[in-house]
């Protein structure tokens, strides 16, 4: 075995026990006498799997009854466009932009509807979250869209913003399942699966039922969330393997003690890494402390010429995918749910060793 600690931003590390279960069930799943990839999504076995994974997700996130859960495709990016198509008909939408993904969501909505940037932290290079009191919200907006965790810039909201009666829409791709959340505060939550849920190619959406009445009848059915809800996310063939894998991850989360327990671990992991970075006098994280992400930790070295040796040596030490996103440079450690504290400790130990001769 040569599996390493994988700090990739997504697709990202999965719990090893989940991969082992998938491996052991690869040829024959349950009573199906076939792989889960080889059976009909409309057969009773798969329908049972679909129901069970939804029930497990509902339990983990304590999703209220008046919310639908959808298992969709297209990546979060497709839903940047599809969300305004469904929910912003005849109205403009407000966007809070605290990083590259919020910016992209806003850009993708523009061909579909009028958008207004109600707040942005671009002027600080996305290292802060604008004070809630400075947001210029339109009380008649169709919704307020924000990105609770910005994967590239490493900026995370530590609170759910109050936006009054306007539905709050959250791209939770990179921090869903990392902590308990009060779903009732949201109109729509959506997330690509390839960080804390499973494999890419699956998007989980949690949508308040009353909002589905807004979905226009004159868009293609396949883009219509109300149609997807009415058809249990099976308007066409869903990503069956991705759905199965998500179900395994939900079982793993339950076995680990649920989201309150996972949150404790994530806090300990983030504290360990930021604590070292801040005390090192060598590495730097540019994000304002109150806005730092528990999931994605970007950091720079004192001199860019050290980046290449850092990456080479870290890989040799069994620490993978630490290269930062090209938009911000430097390094980034993504420490999602599947990264154990031992992995973060191994990273910190390596960072200390690297800093010594280079400091």
Tally the C-alpha atoms within 13 A of residue 112's C-alpha that lie toward its C-beta: 22
Order the strands of the 188-192 sheet from edge to edge: 67-72, 203-208, 188-192, 168-171, 144-146, 93-97, 115-120
Rounded Cα distance, 164 and 148, in Å? 17
- Measured at the alpha carbon of residue 226, what is the angle toward residues 221 and 232, in degrees to the nearest 5? 90
Residues 56-75 that bind ligand PMP (CB under 6 A): 75
Shortest CB 192 distance to ligand PMP, Å: 3
> Coil, strand, or helix at residue 280?
helix
Annotated catalytic residue 101: yes
Residues 186-225 that bind ligand PMP (CB under 6 A): 192
- Is 337 a binding residue for ligand PMP by CB under 6 A? The answer is no
Rounded Cα distance, 24 and 223, in Å? 36
- How many residues form the binding site for ligand PMP (CB under 6 A)? 12
Q: What is the contact mask toward ligand PMP in residues 155 to 174, using x (rule: CB under 6 A)?
A: ----------------x-xx
Q: What is the contact mask toward ligand PMP in residues 121 to 150, using x (rule: CB under 6 A)?
A: --------------------------x---
Catalytic residue (one of 195, 251, 269, 323): 195
Q: Compute the Cα dihedral for 63, 233, 39, 78 and give only its sign.
A: negative
Annotated catalytic residue 195: yes
Q: What is the contact mask toward ligand PMP in residues 100 to 119, using x (rule: CB under 6 A)?
A: -x------------------
Please choose, from the candidates 328, 1, 334, the residue with its C-alpha nearest in 3D space to the C-alpha of residue 149: 334
Residues identified as active-site: 101, 171, 195
Give residues in contact with ligand PMP (CB under 6 A). Answer: 9-10, 75-77, 101, 147, 151, 171, 173-174, 192
């Amino acid at each position: 075995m040569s599996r390493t600690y994988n700090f990739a931003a997504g697709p990202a590390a999965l719990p090893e026990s989940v991969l082992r279960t998938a491996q052991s069930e690869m040829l024959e799943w349950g009573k199906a006498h076939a792989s889960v990839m080889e059976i009909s999504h409309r057969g009773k076995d798969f329908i049972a799997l679909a129901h069970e994974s939804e029930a497990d997700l509902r339990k983990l996130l304590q999703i209220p009854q008046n919310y639908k859960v959808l298992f969709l495709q297209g990546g979060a990016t497709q839903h940047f466009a599809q969300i305004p198509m469904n929910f912003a008909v005849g109205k403009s939408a407000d966007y809070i932009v605290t990083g590259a993904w919020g910016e992209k969501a806003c850009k993708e909505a523009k061909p579909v509807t009028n958008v207004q940037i109600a707040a942005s932290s671009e002027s600080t290079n996305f290292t802060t979250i604008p004070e809630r009191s400075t947001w210029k919200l339109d009380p008649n907006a169709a919704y307020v869209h924000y990105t609770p965790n910005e994967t590239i810039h490493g900026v995370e909201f530590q609170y759910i913003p109050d936006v009054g009666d306007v539905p709050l829409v959250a791209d939770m791709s990179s921090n869903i399942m990392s902590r308990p959340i009060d779903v009732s505060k949201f109109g729509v939550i959506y997330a690509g699966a390839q960080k804390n849920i499973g494999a890419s190619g699956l998007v989980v959406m949690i949508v308040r039922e009353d909002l589905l009445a807004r979905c226009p009848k004159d868009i293609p059915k396949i883009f219509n969330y109300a149609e997807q809800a009415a058809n249990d996310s099976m308007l066409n063939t869903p990503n069956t393997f991705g759905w199965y894998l998500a179900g395994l991850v939900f079982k793993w989360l339950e076995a680990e003690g649920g989201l309150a327990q996972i949150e404790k671990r994530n806090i300990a992991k983030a504290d360990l890494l930021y604590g070292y970075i801040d005390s090192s006098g060598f590495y730097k994280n540019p994000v304002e402390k109150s806005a730092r992400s528990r999931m994605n930790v970007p950091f720079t070295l004192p001199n860019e010429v050290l980046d290449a040796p850092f990456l080479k040596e870290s890989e040799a030490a069994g620490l993978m995918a630490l290269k930062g996103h090209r938009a911000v440079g430097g390094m980034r450690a993504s420490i999602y749910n599947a990264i154990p504290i031992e992995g973060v400790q191994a990273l910190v130990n390596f960072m200390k060793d690297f800093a010594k001769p280079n400091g």
